[in-house]
């Protein structure tokens, strides 16, 4: 467990990017996208909340639903580490069909499974 409270593992970065790209998903949507259990998703989200990278807010459309969003702390981290990522995402979305985007999401889920919950080479 050689990570500090504010550092991010590769898996946590991946989760944050998914939340950002999904544009305020609820926890069930996040879990479904990653093909992980709801308790696992909740655990991951709670860790990211404790680190200050994710917030929960009540949905404006359905007051019973809680939505996830990344914080400015992550946006600043994201901008510093990925200055061209917005352009890449835009190019991918403009040039891939819906079927290809679904395939890409499946590949990302598979990669996440290969990396594991704590990133490459990291253990509990």
34 phi/psi in degrees, rounded to 5: -85, -5
Q: What pLDDT digit, counting tens, does each position of 37-60 carry?
A: 999 999 999 999 999 999 999 888
| pLDDT at residue number 21 | 86
Q: Which fold has domain 10-115?
A: Arc Repressor Mutant, subunit A (1.10.10)
| pLDDT at residue number 26 | 93
Choose between 118 and 113: higher pLDDT: 113
C-alpha angle with apex 92: 52 to 12, nearest 5 degrees?
25
Q: Is the pTM of this model over 0.85?
A: no
Domain ranges of the chain: 10-115
């Amino acid at each position: 467990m050689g990570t500090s409270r504010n550092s991010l593992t590769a898996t946590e970065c991946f989760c944050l990017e998914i939340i950002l790209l999904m544009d305020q998903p609820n926890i069930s949507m996040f879990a479904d996208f990653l093909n992980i259990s709801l308790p696992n998703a909740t655990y991951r989200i709670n860790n990211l909340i404790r680190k200050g990278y994710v917030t929960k807010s009540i949905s404006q459309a359905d007051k019973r639903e809680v939505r996830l969003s990344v914080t400015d702390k992550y946006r600043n981290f994201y901008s510093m580490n990925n200055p061209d990522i917005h352009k890449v995402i835009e190019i991918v979305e403009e040039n891939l069909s819906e079927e290809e985007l679904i395939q890409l999401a499946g590949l990302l889920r598979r990669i996440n499974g290969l990396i594991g919950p704590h990133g490459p080479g990291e253990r509990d």
